[in-house]
Chains A and B, each alone.
Chain A
C-alpha cells in the first residue's frame, strides 16, 4: 500500500512569507503527526491530529499551525517565516494505536532566505 506522501519535497521562501505543507497519510491511518528536524536538535514534535482534532501540541510558537481534513490528510502552516524555520519537516501517520509507532514520509525541505 502507498506510504506517507508529503508535498512539496523542496521549498524556498523569503522571510516574512507564509508556507503550507501537505501530508497524505497511509490509507486507513487516522493519526498524523508533524516533526521539525534541524541539525543538532533531532526531531522536535510539532503537533498531532487524530480524526480532525489536535490531540497534542509541542512547544512551538503560534506561527506554526495545522489542521486535518475528514480524509485524514493534514496541512501544516507556518506564518511570518523566520530564517530559523529552515528545516526538514516530517509528517508521520499511524493507526492511532500508540504502540505501533509511526510511518514517516520523506519530508519537505524548507529553506527560508
Chain B
C-alpha cells in the first residue's frame, strides 16, 4: 500500500516558468517531509524539507508547501532552469515509529525545456 503518492509521473515546463510538483500522503502520523532530486546513474540528493508544524519552507528557488488537512504537499521551483531536469521524489517520516524509515513516492520526472 503506497502511503506516499506522486500521481504525475512526468511534467514538462518552459525555462523561466514555475514548476509545481505534487505529493499526497495517507498516514496522519507522518510529521516530517522531504524532497529529493535524482539524476540518472546517481543516488537521490536532498533538496528541501518541512516539518509538520510549518506550512511553508523556502530555500532559494525552491519552496515546499504543506497542507496537513488535505495531506498534501507541493514543491514549487521558480524560475525553472534546464539543470532542474531530474526525477523528484517526496518522502515522509513516520513520527510514531522508531528509527528513520522514510516512505517515498514513486517520483515525478521533470523536464525543463530551454
- State A31–B93 Cα separation when bound (angstroms): 15
B28 an interface residue at 8 Å Cβ cutoff? Answer: no
B99 an interface residue at 8 Å Cβ cutoff? Answer: yes
- State A25–B103 Cα separation when bound (angstroms): 20
B97 an interface residue at 8 Å Cβ cutoff? Answer: yes
A106 an interface residue at 8 Å Cβ cutoff? Answer: yes
A99 touching B51 by the CB < 8 A rule?
yes
| 0/1 string, B83-114, CB within 8 A of A gives 1 | 00000010101000111111111110000000
A94 an interface residue at 8 Å Cβ cutoff? Answer: yes
Instruction: Please report whether the interface of chain A is mostly helix, strand, loop or mixed according to DSSP.
Output: strand
| 0/1 string, B57-75, CB within 8 A of A gives 1 | 0000000000000000000
B77 an interface residue at 8 Å Cβ cutoff? Answer: no
B32 touching A107 by the CB < 8 A rule?
no
B26 an interface residue at 8 Å Cβ cutoff? Answer: no
A11 an interface residue at 8 Å Cβ cutoff? Answer: no
A58 touching B107 by the CB < 8 A rule?
no
B89 touching A102 by the CB < 8 A rule?
no
Across the interface, which residues of A come within 8 angstroms of B89, CB to CB?
A: 42-43
- State A60–B49 Cα separation when bound (angstroms): 28
A65 an interface residue at 8 Å Cβ cutoff? Answer: no
Question: Which A-B residue pairs are the 8 nearest by beta carbons?
Answer: A104-B43, A42-B106, A55-B99, A43-B104, A56-B99, A56-B101, A42-B104, A106-B43
| A/B interface sample: 27 pairs, CB < 8 A | A31-B99, A33-B101, A33-B102, A35-B104, A40-B106, A43-B89, A43-B104, A45-B101, A55-B98, A55-B99, A56-B97, A56-B98, A58-B101, A90-B43, A92-B43, A96-B100, A98-B99, A98-B100, A99-B32, A99-B49, A99-B93, A101-B46, A101-B91, A105-B43, A106-B42, A106-B43, A107-B43
